[in-house]
Amino acid sequence: QIPKNMGGGWRVELNSDTLPRVLINRDYYNIVLGHAKNKQEKEYLAAQLNNANWLVKALDQRAQSILKVASDIVERQNGFFLYGIDFLKPMTLREVAESVDLHESTVSRVTTGKFIGTPRGLFELKFFFTSAIEGADGVTLSSQSVKSRIKQLIDAEDPKNILSDDDLADTLKKEGIFARGD
């Protein structure tokens, strides 16, 4: 991987085809305003223009929030994008919210129903928010990466000698992953 200071790393961009578009036709507004008969009609048109301007700004702010949050997620989950699910890090909405200076509820809304296309596939942004499981060496692991390891063990088991839950737990413990209560 090329270092970031040399133009490397990941690039995050919005798919503009999926964003809602609101355009204000100022020429049309001026034509309609020119036909306004009184002060009340002019005030009404001005209020509608202000509402439209507010909507355009709100949609732009929303798009910028999505971009900030997605960029922060990609930066935090670099190991996942490079090497796969075993390198997914635990991450909370609060951590991202603090990092991008948004409220936690805003980050939750921004990530709900939003997807990111990556070299590893298409993922809902919510996928990257996982709980932490502490490893033997004090390093925290993502619950998703632990689930992935369990799936690998099950997929590789001999059908004639199926692993018990205790066997799986013992293998995970040997690999430095503690089960709750250990």
Most confident by average pLDDT, 8-17, 57-66, 124-133, 144-153: 57-66
CB 115 within 8 A of CB 122: yes
Would you say residue 181 has pLDDT above 50? no
Helices and strands in the chain, H and E counts: 7, 4
pLDDT of 164 reads 78
Report the distance separating Cα 129 and Cα 144, nearest Å: 9
Is the predicted pLDDT of residue 52 greater than 90, yes or no?
yes
pLDDT-derived band at 133 (thresholds 50, 70, 90) equals: low
Residue 72 CB coordination number (10 Å): 21
Contact status, residue 172 vs residue 134, Cβ threshold 8 Å: no
Task: Provide the CA 4 distance to its chain's centre, in angstroms.
Answer: 21
Separation between Cα atoms, residue 98 and residue 104, nearest integer Å: 8
Asked whether residue 53 carries a pLDDT value surpassing 80, the answer given is yes
pLDDT range class, residue 1, cuts 50, 70, 90: low
Compute the distance between CA of residue 182 and CA of residue 170 in angstroms, rounded to an integer. 11
pLDDT category at 16 given cuts 50, 70, 90 is confident
Q: What percent of the chain has pLDDT over 70?
A: 87
- Return the percentage of the chain with pLDDT > 90, whole number: 49
Could you give the CA distance from residue 14 to residue 158 in angstroms, rounded to a whole number?
45
What is the rounded average pLDDT of the residues 33-44? 94
Burial 21-33 (b: 16+ CB within 10 A, else e): eeeeeeeeeeeee
Which of 12-16, 30-34, 140-144 has the weakest average pLDDT? 140-144
**Distance (Å, whole) CA 125 – CA 179:** 27
Query: In terms of Cα–Cα distance, which of 157, 136, 161 is closest to 146?
Result: 136
Q: What is the rounded average pLDDT for all residues in the chain?
A: 85
